[in-house]
Amino acid sequence: MIIRSNQPHLLSFLCILLLIILYANPSLAQEKKVLVIGIDGLLPEAIGLSDMPNINALYEDGAGFVAYGYTEDLTFSGPSWSSILHGVHRDRHGVDSNQYHGHDYSEYPGVMERLKNHDPNIHTSAFVTWPLLQNNFSRPDGTPVGVDQLVYRSRQGEGDLKVTEDLVELLRNEDPDAIFYYQNDIDGAGHGYGFSIDVPEYREQLRITDERVGRVVDGVKEREGFRSGGEEWLILLVTDHGGVGTGHSGNLNRQRFIPIILSGSSTIRRDAPQMRIRNLDVAKTVLTWMGVPEDQQSDLDGHDILAVAGEGRTEADFGVNLLVNSDGENDRGFSDREIDQAIFGWRDQEHTGEQDGYHSMTLIKTPSGINWIGINGEMLEAPGSENLFTGGSKGQSSKMTQLCDVSPLQEVIDSRYVDFQLSAFQGGIGETDDRMELTLHFRDEGGEVIRTELLESVTREDREGSDACLLRESEGLVPGGRTVLIELHAIGTSGEGISALADRWY
């Protein structure tokens, strides 16, 4: 969506590029270090509870931020932790269950191995209590890879407590650089009694795990390098899934919606991203923080969370596209609709159906032979899009949204001199009647809808039954309001997935 001012005599603004050269004092250089805290089965609503003062302290009072996003479409722990630790979707890391059958990470090594490949002197370690999680730090034959220290303690024998003590000892007596610290007992409480903060056993385990996390964070803060300012720590807390009842292997929002916390030095004391992120983004965030060049991580599917934190969205202005990832090119499209990727920047999981397994929006690689048709029916050259939005492989309804803040333009909008332009390619495949609906909801400061604008859908008749995307455009006066909710809705007819397409909309 683009908004434009047509107020007479508005001044033009020039963009001035200021080049600031910083001369670093070598004596003030800080050594980058990272601690990834992996808490299995942590619900987003647990964040902020009084039972978890240590975890809350990671983001309170400007220490960092908490963001909310999505895990992978298969919410088993194996696929989720593999995407977290390797930074790629399951079609690349190959893990689709908790059994890790035939896993081989040689083409997409884990974050610790990538750190070692970048600098063999980086000291890496992992502390785990789920036996199969060792696969993410090992060759298929069981040989550890990428970690100087792989510590496993059985979860049946107070493993979470023991790895906590092991890690505190490491922080006191050695010089680690990159650490993965895992806790399993919250997940155990969820499976045993229910994934809910209203379940006493789950709630009690939150308190116990929080105490252990507090001991580890204190271990970091008690280091001489931390106290002197010689060490600059990034602490990143992440989980693999939510839960419903006593399970979590489905594709519902409550199973996929997760919290992610980043904490550390003043360089990350900023607002959380204004968009949905994924636990898939953890690996790239860690590698970038530790100084690994982009060309050594260009095959990753995720994004650097710190790069979009506090920013992440174009500030409202005239003549600019206000949408993030409006063409899907900030992600990797799949060969078909079976993988339900959470699309970067979009809220797409909140709108899944009640039935377990219903998909939200996803991305596919642009099929060959798609016709691109202009406003007046003219054939257009292919715009070079690598990806197309589509509706997923299950159900009859998929939807995603974005919320744009236009309050910085409030004064001019209220003067009634601002109009908007809405544009998108929409289409579908063959003889199916599936279609896309694109809607703008202009909302006031209280979130109430002032006016709704609907972009005309592309039907099978419009496409004449061909594989095609047609350009649709609409424009009008902005009716007021402070935010604009953009909604893309894929509507199916068969119940066997939705083949409607959309691309390059603004």
Tell me the three-class secondary structure of 64-120, residue by residue. EEEEEEECCCCCCHHHHHHHHHHCCCHHHHCCCCCCCCCCCCCCCCCHHHHHHHHCC
Phi, psi of 44 (to 5 degrees): -65, -35
> Please, which residues bridge with residue 183 across strands?
39
Is the domain of 295 the same as that of 329? Answer: no
What is the pLDDT, as a whole number, of residue 24? 34
What is the pLDDT, as a whole number, of residue 3? 57
Q: Is residue 15 part of a domain?
A: no
Which residue among 308, 324, 339 closes a domain?
A: 308
Q: Is residue 12 part of a domain?
A: no
Helix (H) or strand (E) holding 378, with range, is: none
d(CA 375, CA 378): 7
d(CA 54, CA 57): 5
d(CA 278, CA 344): 7
Q: Is residue 14 part of a domain?
A: no
Residues 6+ apart with CB under 8 A from 114: 146, 283, 287, 292, 296, 297
CATH number at residue 454: 2.60.120.260
Within 10 Å of residue 150's Cβ, how many Cβ atoms?
A: 19
Domain count, the chain: 2
User: CA 68, 71, 75, 80 torsion: positive or negative?
Assistant: negative
Instruction: Give the tokens for residue 255.
Output: 């199973």
Q: Is residue 488 part of a domain?
A: yes
User: Comparing C-alpha atoms, which of 114, 139, 164 is closest to residue 290?
Assistant: 114
d(CA 258, CA 70): 6
Is the domain of 250 the same as that of 138? Answer: yes
Q: Is residue 417 part of a domain?
A: yes
What is the pLDDT, as a whole number, of residue 158? 95
For the chain, the residue count is: 506
Radius of gyration for the alpha carbons in the chain, expressed in angstroms and rounded? 24
Q: Is residue 9 part of a domain?
A: no
Residue keyed to tokens 């009640």:
354
What is the pLDDT, as a whole number, of residue 102? 78
What is the pLDDT, as a whole number, of residue 316? 79
Helix (H) or strand (E) holding 180, with range, is: strand 178-183
Within 10 Å of residue 456's Cβ, how many Cβ atoms?
A: 13
Is the domain of 227 the same as that of 259? Answer: yes
Which residue among 308, 335, 356 closes a domain?
A: 308
d(CA 506, CA 501): 15
Is the domain of 262 the same as that of 389? Answer: no
Label residue 80 exposed, middle or buried (CB < 10 Å: 0-12, 13-18, 19+).
buried
Is the domain of 277 the same as that of 154? Answer: yes
pTM for the complete prediction? 0.90
d(CA 412, CA 239): 43
Is the domain of 207 the same as that of 254? Answer: yes
User: Comparing C-alpha atoms, which of 450, 340, 352 is closest to residue 400?
Assistant: 352
- DSSP output for 6-67: --TTPPP----PPP------GGG--EEEEEEEEETT--GGGTT-TT-HHHHTTTGGGTEEEE
User: Comparing C-alpha atoms, which of 259, 255, 257, 239 is closest to residue 247?
Assistant: 255
What is the pLDDT, as a whole number, of residue 416? 78
Is the domain of 364 the same as that of 280? Answer: no
Q: Is residue 17 part of a domain?
A: no
SS3 content of the chain, % helix, strand, coil (to 5): 25, 25, 45
Which residue among 274, 308, 342 closes a domain?
A: 308
Is the domain of 294 the same as that of 413? Answer: no
Range of the domain at 227: 30-308
What is the pLDDT, as a whole number, of residue 1? 58
Phi, psi of 257 (to 5 degrees): -80, 125
Is the domain of 362 the same as that of 443? Answer: yes
As a dihedral over the C-alpha atoms of residue 363, residue 294, residue 306, residue 169, rounded to 10 degrees, the angle is 120
User: What is the DSSP pairing of strand 178-183 with strand 2-5?
Assistant: unpaired
Q: Is residue 200 part of a domain?
A: yes
* CA distances, 116 to each of 109, 125, 287 (Å): 11, 11, 11
Is the domain of 442 the same as that of 491? Answer: yes
User: What is the DSSP pairing of strand 124-128 with strand 178-183?
Assistant: parallel
Is the domain of 300 the same as that of 346? Answer: no
* pLDDT per residue rounded down to tens, the chain (506 residues): 565 544 432 222 222 122 222 233 333 468 999 999 999 999 999 999 999 999 999 999 888 999 999 999 999 999 999 999 999 999 999 999 999 987 889 999 999 999 999 999 999 999 999 999 999 999 988 899 999 999 999 998 899 999 999 999 999 999 999 999 999 999 999 999 999 999 999 999 999 999 999 999 999 999 999 999 999 999 999 999 999 999 998 888 889 999 999 998 766 656 677 778 899 999 999 999 999 999 999 999 999 999 887 555 567 788 888 888 889 998 999 999 888 888 888 888 777 766 656 778 899 999 989 999 999 999 999 888 899 999 988 888 888 999 888 988 888 888 878 899 999 999 999 999 999 999 999 999 999 999 999 999 999 999 999 999 999 999 999 998 899 999 999 999 987 889 999 997 65
CATH number at residue 94: 3.40.720.10
What is the pLDDT, as a whole number, of residue 489? 93
Residues 6+ apart with CB under 8 A from 141: none
Within 10 Å of residue 118's Cβ, how many Cβ atoms?
A: 16
Phi, psi of 92 (to 5 degrees): -100, -40
* CA distances, 85 to each of 136, 221, 358 (Å): 7, 25, 26
User: CA 112, 230, 175, 173 torsion: positive or negative?
Assistant: negative
d(CA 296, CA 293): 6
Is the domain of 320 the same as that of 393? Answer: yes
User: Comparing C-alpha atoms, which of 385, 487, 481, 407 is closest to residue 442?
Assistant: 481
